Structure 1
């Protein structure tokens, strides 16, 4: 299993390589929303200051992780390049129907 943070870090590095490879090329692609679907297992530590860690289950992993202990999640990531105008964030009290 791989930590979810490592998966996102590796994705970021791949995208940075793709941006660098496009330097000077005539054909460019706009970077839009990236959807990443992974199967994750949760690990919860039981001591003071406990935290939850998400582990991405590798494809073809052995049966040590029971199917019942994994969940599929989809992450929608909106990448931006450093120095770009930041996105507008909405704030305020959540509506009762919002999650």
Structure 2
């Protein structure tokens, strides 16, 4: 089943993709420009981290304590269910 991309700014159907990372899609040039201030911090990293090192890994941003710079890493995750809650549990992290 195919999913339709949704613009992160207005939640409308998105068809234009960021030319830098080719990961985020927008509905219009206006929404892409509105998101640029935040997205530019991630764009190059997303492009470098396009594919996970192994199956079952997801990209994550870790904000270390004491105001250090955020780190981008891969987390090994597994889906868990307990007491009616469904979520994810990470197993390991791999730096960029």
TM-score interval, normalised by the smaller of the two chains: under 0.3
Larger Rg: 1
| TM-score, with length taken from structure 2 | 0.24
Higher strand fraction (1 or 2): 2
Scaled by the length of structure 1, the TM-score of the pair is: 0.23
